[in-house]
Structure 1
Amino acid sequence: MNLIDRISAQFEDNMRTTLEALELLAAPIAGAVELITASLLDNGKVLVCGGSGCAGDARRFAAQLVNGFELERPSLAALALSADTSTLAPLTGEPDAASMFARQIHAFGHPGDILITLSTGADSARIEQAIHAAHERDMHVIALTSGKPGRIAECLGPADIHISPPADRRARIQELHLLTLHCLCDGIDCLLLGVED
């Protein structure tokens, strides 16, 4: 096994997938930037959730909204629903893992807020329940998923945004999710601060 060739193949696959995704995702990402920015300017907040490996990306994105991305600016209202371990399981009875995000949305979500969901798959009971809870709160949803259609996409309403990378490999999906989150941070900062370049 030639490790250099294997590493090169990973880089090349990433570049191909990223360029293919650019054509498909630029418009929905721009729409998501505008939706999030409008909510924040109207005193709304961003709730972010991700299951399993996506939980870390959800926490990081929320932190970048609160603490800043690449430009100095005031803190933005954002909360990662996977960050507070004390709220992730009920205190009594059997834990209901599928409702752990939905419960927090019912507690913290308000009309006009934004829910961002992260899942490298197309089906996730936690994410589906979170989307339903957000709709009950009159929130908009931005769902980052895999490239395959599934139940998450079926939960979305006409005012929601679906960002679905054209990739089958989990690693490529995660890489495109991270790039999307960076584009969201950059776009929000540009709209809020009036940055042109």
Structure 2
Amino acid sequence: MSVLKGVVEATPADPISSYFNELSRVLTAVRVSDAEGRPLDLSAGFEWVADAAREAHNAGKKVVLIGNGGSAAVASHHAIEFLKNGGIRATALNDSAALTCLSNDFGYANVFSEQLKAHGIPGDVLIAISSSGQSVNILKAVETARASSMKVVTLSGFQPDNLLRGRGDVNFYVNSNQYGFVEVAHHALIQAILDLYVFPRRPAK
């Protein structure tokens, strides 16, 4: 608050506090649902993903992560986290040579689905990440994964009725229409799954 010539003026909100308050709201407002749209507890969603990843690895299968732009970076980061720290076979389908080759030959809408046709096998787990939930190449990849009897996890945001939400065995929805918040939330969700349900328990310091 400030006083100028007897007039009390409100101090503008601190933009940093506002930013992190909104991020906190976004993270606590995450919704999880199953393939039929029934709501799940966040812990149940986390546990499902962790169990599916472990089962895939133990059966000689793998976790596959896909995304565009910032979501591709999230996919790459967590493919390494699953592999290195979680001890679970994992890969991200965003090699630049593969993307440019397949987009040139089949169109960008098919860059992930074509790779899944070649590499996806029954029992693999696909983690499909799309901030908008509307990316055609992600949606087509999910269709291919289903046809290949893969398990599917989706992470989306923006509109609650986006096309990706509801197409996975487990679906995480972030209620925000800002890319930055959705991408950070997606990153945090997968990291939480890894830290709380996949990584070996670490002794307390």
> TM class, shorter-chain normalised?
0.7 to 0.9
Q: Deviations over 1:66-96 (max 9, x none)?
A: 2216xxxxx42111001x2111133796551
Q: Which has the higher strand share?
A: 2
Larger radius of gyration: 2
Does 1:99 pair with 2:110? Answer: yes
Does 1:12 pair with 2:21? Answer: yes
Q: What secondary structure sits across from 1:144 in the alignment? A: strand
* CA distance 1:99–1:19, change in 2 (3 Å): same
Give the Å deviation of 1:171. 1.9
Q: Equivalents in 1 of 2:25, 2:127: separation in Å?
A: 26
Unaligned 5+ runs, structure 1 = 70-74
- TM-score, normalised to structure 2, is 0.79
Alignment of 1:55-74 (within 5 A): 55-68=72-85
1:38 aligned partner: 55
- TM-score, normalised to structure 1, is 0.82
Q: Which has the higher helix share?
A: 1
Give the Å deviation of 1:107. 1.1
RMSD over equivalenced CA pairs, Å: 2.7
Alignment of 1:174-185 (within 5 A): 174-185=183-194
CA contact (8 A) 1:118 1:143 kept: yes
Q: What secondary structure sits across from 1:166 in the alignment? A: coil
Q: What secondary structure sits across from 1:152 in the alignment? A: coil
CA contact (8 A) 1:90 1:96 kept: no
* CA distance 1:93–1:85, change in 2 (3 Å): closer
2:163 to 130, 151, 158: 151
CA contact (8 A) 2:156 2:174 kept: yes
Q: Deviations over 1:29-82 (max 9, x none)?
A: 22222222221222210110001221111000001112216xxxxx42111001
CA contact (8 A) 1:89 1:95 kept: no
Kindly tell me the number of residue pairs found equivalent between the two proteins. 185
Alignment of 1:48-197 (within 5 A): 48-68=65-85, 75-82=87-94, 84-90=95-101, 94=105, 96-147=107-158, 148-153=160-165, 156=167, 160-190=169-199, 193=200
Give the Å deviation of 1:196. 8.9
Unaligned 5+ runs, structure 2 = 1-10, 33-40
1:72 aligned partner: none
CA contact (8 A) 1:110 1:138 kept: yes
